[in-house]
A and B are shown apart, each in its own frame.
Chain A
Amino acid sequence: MIKSLLDIEIDCLLSAITERYGYDFRNYARASLKRRIQNYLTVSDCNHVSELIPKVLHDKECFAKFLSNMSVTVTEMFRDPLVFKSIREDILPKLKTYSRINVWHAGCATGEEVYSMAILLEEEGLLGRAHIYATDFNAKSLATAKEGIYPAENVQLYTRNYLKAGGKSSFSDYYQANYESAKMKDSLREKITFASHNLISDQVFAEMNLVLCRNVLIYFDKVLQDRVLELFSDSLVSRGFLVLGDKEAIKYSIVKDDFEAVSERLKTYRKVLHV
């Protein structure tokens, strides 16, 4: 099949970015990446994707803008509350026997789900011996996550989600309210390490009991999905848990035999014992 002109331009742009900055988008799911690039084109003053190439190569600020447009940050606290309820009821009880519990939140974006996880651990009496590693490749998102300050207008939704996720206390216990913002409590933040990590190029960095990576894999092509799932499998201890986004089944993937479903519907999995 003959490549379209647009695809040629996009290939050139992605190669240029990989070589110049080390961010490799070449194995992203192409259809949605293409759409995001085209949308970025309409807000830039370029008519063709190829015109973006010199701009992102020579102008670091232009690249930073491009980067934040390419990475996805749609998230909320206790997004898909039933998943968090299942983590609380089906997964955390099985982690209680460990003296130290390592949680990796991969692709944490602006951090809402990381604080959600910390709250769950706190309410189940596990936060003291837990540590959450929250990683993303997007420095801007990570800075927001580290601050832990969110618009007050979102608190109502978060509170509803918290209750649906089986919240045991009051969501307002976990933040300091201001007129316009809610700042997450330091006691939660102390147990979280926010760090830059690129799922495409970086390696495993610690043994994990629980890995969460939600709605990140949908943006990767099949090859990259498999590679990242293998990374998670390698990172997990025997009988460790993996939580994916609610459309991210592992049944078509290379690691499907490494895991059993805790709940196939909620996309929660547990690593099997290998004989």
Chain B
Amino acid sequence: MFDAVVIGVSMGGLQALKVILPRLPKNFAIPVIVVLHQSTTIDSSLAVLLNGMFEIDVKEAELNEKIEAGYVYLSSPGYHLLIEQDKTFALSIDPPENFSIPSIDVLFESAAEAYGDGLVGIILTGANADGSQGLKVVGQHGGLTVVQAPNTAEAKVMPEAAIAAAEVRHIVPLDEMGEFILRLADDVG
């Protein structure tokens, strides 16, 4: 079984999450960590908004917080989200990467070092190339690389860039992505 799932998503992300997350049960066995590009002008209450819409608990990833199964953790606008070796969250306000803060690359690369081959990296819809370098690094550390099928994405740029940059193991249509993540918990390989 895998130890963590990281998801990177930008334009069209909220809609995509609303298709995927209803498939996950409460107390899902693998923690899910999402970087979502958002405008910093909006209050960071997206986690509050999404929590309660699905069976699984959704919360904002907090500084020093221990990562646990049963949660979908969301990034906060204006902060890079990173994972330390001891599987706790870290934040930074270092300069944007790929014009993005939070940046998907920053999460994925730190997650790859923390979880190695226990990690699943998933790139969803988006209009820039953030995350493709990160997904490549996930694969280099032995993690499972997954991309949303571009023809099912609201914005194709991000999934297409990821497919071009990384060794991608699975290309999954949006309406099957929830089921795909669900099955990761049964995967003994």
Contact = CB atoms under 8 A, between A and B. Distances in A.
Contacts of A1: 85
B100 interface: no
Given A35-B110, A247-B63, A218 B85 contact: no
A35 B106 contact: yes
Range, interface on chain B: 20 to 34
B64 interface: yes
A180 to B, nearest CB: 23
Interface string B57-74: 000001111000000000
Contact of B93 (A4, A31, A215, A221): A215
A249 interface: yes
Interface string B69-91: 00000001001101111001011
B63 A218 contact: yes
B27 interface: no
Interface size band for A: 20 to 34
A221 B95 CA distance: 20
B14 to A, nearest CB: 22
A36 B94 contact: yes
Contacts of A30: 84-85
B113 interface: yes
Interface in A90-124: none
A48 B90 CA distance: 25
Contact of B76 (A34, A215, A219, A247): A247
Interface of A: 1, 4, 29-32, 34-36, 72, 74, 215, 217-219, 221-222, 225, 247-249, 252
Given A72-B94, A222-B88, A252-B65, 16 more contacts: A1-B85, A4-B113, A29-B84, A30-B84, A31-B82, A32-B80, A32-B82, A32-B92, A32-B94, A34-B110, A35-B82, A35-B109, A72-B93, A218-B79, A218-B92, A247-B91
24 contacts: A4-B113, A29-B82, A29-B84, A30-B84, A30-B85, A31-B83, A31-B84, A31-B110, A32-B82, A32-B90, A32-B92, A32-B94, A34-B113, A35-B82, A35-B94, A35-B109, A72-B92, A72-B93, A218-B92, A218-B93, A219-B92, A225-B64, A252-B64, A252-B65
